[in-house]
Structure 1
Amino acid sequence: MRGMRLVHSGKVRDLYEDRGDIILVASDRVSIYDVIMPTPIPDKGAILTALSLWWFDQLRDLVPNHVISATDVPEEFAGRAIRCKRLEIIPVECVARGYLTGNGLKEYEKSGAVSGVELPPGLVDGSALPTPIFTPSAKAAVGEHDEPITYEQVEALLGEDRAAELEDLTLRAYELGQEHCEEAGIILADTKFEFGLDASGTLTLGDEALTPDSSRFWPLESWKPGARQPSYDKQYLRDWGVASGWDPADPAPEIPAEVVEKTRELYITAYERITGETWA
């Protein structure tokens, strides 16, 4: 990796500087509850990279993305790395929810709202929302939890115009993703995006897009509100962590081989059903 410099190591991805560009490398590491697990998931980095590239292509008419090349990368990272534009990252996780579950459900049960968005009474785990909602969060350091914030807080942080632009792009990208996923027999329950500004100041989609790490994918045929939904994402691994008795904090336990393989199979299923391609 002569000439390359590691500039950041995240929970899942590592960023290198190379010839003025960024090399974004997806590892096989996996995190749940903001804790990096000691056991990798084979092929995970390659699956996330391939699926992100597929979605970036689907969304290209809606929003520019940071991809320069998926092939002009160091040989040792081939298949799980992207050469990217440098971005000034906007410090807000842009989350869209079409269904109620996870932390959104917990917040709703306490206040009847998610990120300040009032919701109808009587919703349960897995309920479809009347309309998709924008529920941003403030980006946190590795090992810390992103904190939900309101739209008004995004306006205060970034200004009215930028907040409106982020909400619009997030919801439109979610709706396009949901439309395609439904055609593939999948519910896109929620997802998150990361945006930044390129050298010309253009708002640009970065990081990853609509992967099992950043989204909840549920089988459409088995959707039934009022219970935990089967999924093609890392919710299976979260559920294993809770069932194992682990208190989500370091040190994290090793993941059993059968759980590793099942997690890998779910990621592959998400890729194949969404793209219509066979994972090689």
Structure 2
Amino acid sequence: MSALLESNLEGFPKRSGKVRDVYDLGDRLLVVATDRISAYDWVLPNGIPDKGRILTALSAFWFDRLDTQNHFISTDLDAAGLDLSDEDRSQLEGRVMLVRKAEVIPFECVVRGYLFGSAWREYRTRGTVCGERLPTSLVEAVKLDPPLFTPATKADEGHDENVSFEELSADLGPELADALRDRSIRIYRRAAEHASSVNLILADTKFEFGRAATSGEIILIDEVLTPDSSRYWPLDAYKPGVVPPSFDKQFVRDWLDSTDWDKQSEPPPLPDAIVEQTRAKYIQAFELLTGQSFPDA
């Protein structure tokens, strides 16, 4: 089983991120989710087979389920109206989203329902999360009620940097900042409720928004609520103070941490066993959240 590391659709301008190749079709965009996987701000030499198909199908599931304006049009390759070769069609099938164009708002809208990751590291040293002071004596992975909205700068390369809500408001204006916060928390709560119904915890997630090119309305863009952008935990394994297993690329991070890689040079290729375990976790997340079997799993 091979991984698709790069798509090649000739005749259209393309820009590439860590995972996605985005083609400009004029009035719309074609977003292709490859099987690339990144860790510690590096794209790894080998990918995770079917990862792009899983991310696409899961994003489509959430876009259809969420009651919020978004950029999603279709995952039907024929909807793009392209004259594709059999090779192109085989490469792209199941991993494309046709979307509306939008002017990206350059901030990640992060919602944290649990004290974990960079939020835990800041809290442990300063007692705050993105500058907001929290009660003392909290433990790692404790539930945060209400959830915290912790925006971050959107970096094309390197780390996103957490910013305070006041900084977000100063940059975007208080009206837009309030709208992004309220919508992000509303979407998170709805998604967390669904996750709980299938025995998962949505610990945290990040959203991206933009202004629709045709109307100027604020719409949800990019991927949404996938294991690449969200942290899911099994509900039956959760206990405050204990780091639970997660449905994402934790196998990859753990293996990299076990090597002598310095995180400053080109990363090593992933062993087959790590690739297989990571793929299985992504598929499991998809099947639990959607109630569907992943094709060819």
TM-score grouping bracket, smaller chain normalisation: over 0.9
Q: 2:11 aligns with which of 3, 7, 13?
A: 3
Aligned residues: 276
* Alignment partner of 1:56 out of 63, 84, 87: 63
The Cα offsets for residues 177-223 of structure 1, whole Å up to 9 and x where unpaired, read as 10000000000000000000002111001000000000000000011
Question: 2:72 is matched with which residue?
Answer: 67
The one-letter code matched in structure 1 to 2:260 is: G
Residues 35 and 250, structure 1, Cα contact 8 Å, conserved in 2? no
- The one-letter amino acid of 2:177's match is A
Which of 100, 106, 110 in structure 1 is aligned with 2:125?
110
- Cα deviation for residue 2 of structure 1 reads 4.7
In the alignment, which of 181, 202, 216 is matched to residue 188 of structure 1? 202
Map of 1:223 onto structure 2? 238
Tell me the amino acid that sits aligned with residue 61 of structure 2: W
% identical equivalent positions: 47
Partners of 1:17 and 1:23 within 8 A in 2: yes
**Secondary structure at the residue paired with 2:195?**
helix
Matching residue's letter, 1:188? L
What residue identity is the alignment partner of 1:67? Answer: F
1:170 is matched with which residue?
184
Contact 1:35 1:249 in 2 (8 A): no
Partner of 1:12: 19
Normalising by structure 2, we get a TM-score of: 0.90
Q: 2:138 aligns with which of 123, 130, 143?
A: 123
Query: 1:31 deviation in Å?
Result: 0.5
The answer for the alignment partner of 2:168 in structure 1 is 154
CA–CA distance in structure 2, aligned partners of residues 250 and 168 of structure 1: 40
Q: Which residue of 1 aligns with 2:98?
A: 83
CA pair 34-2 structure 1, distance change in 2 beyond 3 A: closer
Amino acid corresponding to residue 18 of structure 2 in structure 1: K
Correspondence for 1:245 among 260, 266, 290: 260
Match of 2:44 among 29, 33, 37: 37
Give the AA of the match of 2:159.
H
Structure 2 counterpart of 1:24, from 9, 31, 46: 31
Task: State the AA in 2 paired with 1:197.
Answer: R
Deviates more, 1:120-129 or 1:256-265: 120-129
Give the structure with higher Rg (CA). 2
State how far apart, in whole Å, the 2-side matches of 1:247 and 1:228 are: 24
When structure 1 is superposed on structure 2, of 198-207 and 234-243 the one drifting more is 234-243
The letter of the residue matching 1:190 is D
Distance 2:244 2:270 in 1: 22
Runs of 4+ in 1 over 4 A off after TM superposition: none
Please give the alpha-carbon distance, in whole angstroms, between the structure 1 residues aligned to 2:21 and 2:33. Answer: 7
The one-letter amino acid of 1:44's match is K
Kindly indicate whether residue 113 of structure 2 is the aligned counterpart of residue 98 of structure 1: yes
1:257 and 2:269 matched:
no
Unaligned regions of 5+ residues in structure 1, if any?
none
